Amino acid sequence: MSTRVDAKPAGPEERILRGSGRACRLRVGGRIEELDELTGGAPRIVLADETVLRLHGGRLPAGPVVVVGEGEQAKTLANAERLYEELLRLEADRGTFLVGVGGGVVCDVTGFVAATYLRGLPVGFVPTTLLAQVDAAIGGKNGVNLRGFKNLVGTIRQPEFVLCDLGLLETLPPRERNNGLAEVVKHALIADPALFTFLEENAAAASALEPGVTRRLVRDSIAVKAAIVERDEREAGERRLLNFGHSFGHAIEKATGLSHGEAVSVGMAIAAGLSVERGLLPRPEAERVFRLLDALGLPRRTEADAASLFAGLRKDKKRSGSRIAFIFLERIGRGVAVELELDDLEALFSAWVRSAEGRKAWEHP
C-alpha cells in the first residue's frame, strides 16, 4: 500500500522553537545560499568537515571556513581547543556568527565551541545529513565525548537558526540515510502515530529519499522534537522521551561496529519487546514496529551480549545512581518514561529474551 505524495518542489516552511533566552528559526526546504539572510550580514565563519566541503563547498557563500574533522574522533576537547585557536587566529569577536555545515558531529562541535568561546557567539546550523536535519541539529544540545562516552561534556543552548536544505541529502550514502530514518521512526513511535502510518505506507519511498516523502519526514520529525523541547528544554521530564531506543542504542554503538542510527534501531526493537514484556504495549503493536524496521532496512538484532550491553548502560550519562529513566511504549505514538533500577531492567531484558516472542525477535536467523 502506498500514499501518493506530491514531489514537486515547494517553497520553504518555517517554524519557531522558543527556547530559554532565544528563539530558533527552523526552516525546511530552504537553500544554503540563504545564509546571508539568516546571519543578517554579520561577520561569519563556517565550520565544516572535508566531505561536506568536497561535495557542497561550491555552494557556500564567500567567507572563511574552518575544517572541523570527521567522525566521532572530532568530538573531543582537544579538537575543540584547536578550533578555539583557529577562531583566535581569525580574530572572531562576539559579533561573529559561527555556522556549522555538516552532519551531527559538525553541529555538535560547532554548537559547543560557539557556546563556550568568548562565553557565547551566535550560531546557526545547516545540517547536511538526514540524521542531523531530523534530530541532531534540533533542540540546542551541543557536546563532545570523553573517553569514548558520548556527549559527556556539553551545553544546552539554542542556535539562531537551523536551515534544512533537502537538496543536500542527495549525496547521502545508504548508511547515513538509515541513520536518519531510525530517528524519524523514533519520533513517530513516541509522539506521532500518523507519521508512523505514513512510514508504513511509504517505506520504499522513504528509503529512497523521494523528495515529497523526505520533506514530510523532516517537517514532521522537527515538529515532534521542537514541541517537546519547548515544553522541557533542559530534560527535566518530557524531553526524556527523545531517548527512546538510545539507552541500549548507545551501549550497542560502543560495543559493536554499528552506526548511531543502526544501534538506535536495535535499541528501539529491544524497547518495544520490553514494553510487551512489562505489559504496556500490545504484542501486535510491537510486531508493527518490527515490520517497519525490516521494511526500512534497519537492523533489530546485534551480536553484542547482554553483559556488554549492561556494562555500557551502567555508564550512561542519563542514569541517576543505580537507576535509569527507561522509555517504554504504551502504544504506537505514545512513549512513557519509567524509573527503574538497572538490575530490574536487566532482569526484564533476560525474561524477554527467554520468552517465545523474545527469541523470535532477538535470536539471529
From 27, 160, 178, 183, active-site residue:
183
183 given a catalytic annotation? yes
246 given a catalytic annotation? yes
364 given a catalytic annotation? no
From 44, 177, 187, 225, active-site residue:
225
Out of 1.10.1660.10, 1.20.1090.10, 2.60.120.40, 3.40.640.10, which CATH number does the structure's domain 183-208+244-362 have?
1.20.1090.10
119 given a catalytic annotation? yes
From 44, 141, 215, 240, active-site residue:
141
Which pLDDT belongs to residue 6?
47
187 given a catalytic annotation? no
Q: What are the boundaries of each domain within the chain?
A: 13-171, 183-208+244-362
From 44, 187, 239, 240, active-site residue:
239
Residue closest to 248 by CA, chosen among 335, 318, 175: 318
From 27, 215, 240, 250, active-site residue:
250
239 given a catalytic annotation? yes
Question: In DSSP terms, which residues pair with 23 in a beta bridge?
Answer: 18
- Between β-strands 323-331 and 334-341, what pairing exists: parallel, antiparallel or unpaired? antiparallel
Which pLDDT belongs to residue 317?
67
Which pLDDT belongs to residue 363?
59
Which pLDDT belongs to residue 244?
97
From 142, 178, 202, 243, active-site residue:
243
From 27, 157, 260, 300, active-site residue:
260
From 160, 176, 233, 235, active-site residue:
235
**Mean pLDDT for each 10-residue chunk of the chain (365 residues)?**
49 90 92 95 96 96 95 94 98 97 97 97 98 96 88 94 97 94 98 98 97 97 97 91 93 87 95 95 96 96 81 76 92 96 90 76 56
From 4, 8, 91, 119, active-site residue:
119
243 given a catalytic annotation? yes
14 given a catalytic annotation? no
Give the 3-state DSSP-derived string for the chain, with helices as H, strands as E and coil as C: CCCCCCCCCCCCEEEEEEECCEEEEEEECCCHHHHHHHHCCCCEEEEECHHHHHHHHHHCCCCCEEECCCCHHHCCHHHHHHHHHHHHHCCCCCCCEEEEEECHHHHHHHHHHHHHHHHCCCEEEEECCHHHHHHHCCCCEEEEEECCEEEEEEEECCCCEEEECHHHHHHCCHHHHHHHHHHHHHHHHHHCHHHHHHHHHCHHHHHCCCHHHHHHHHHHHHHHHHHHHHHCCCCCCHHHHHHCCHHHHHHHHHHCCCCHHHHHHHHHHHHHHHHHHCCCCCHHHHHHHHHHHHHCCCCCCCCCCHHHHHHHHCCCCCCECCEEEEEEEEECCEEEEEEEEHHHHHHHHHHHHHCHHHHHHHCCC
260 given a catalytic annotation? yes
**Is CATH 3.40.50.1970 what the domain over 13-171 is classified as, yes or no?**
yes
Which pLDDT belongs to residue 8?
47
Which pLDDT belongs to residue 365?
46
Here the cell at position 148 is 569514548
Report d(CA 160, CA 38) in Å as an integer: 8
Report d(CA 151, CA 254) in Å as an integer: 13
Which pLDDT belongs to residue 358?
72
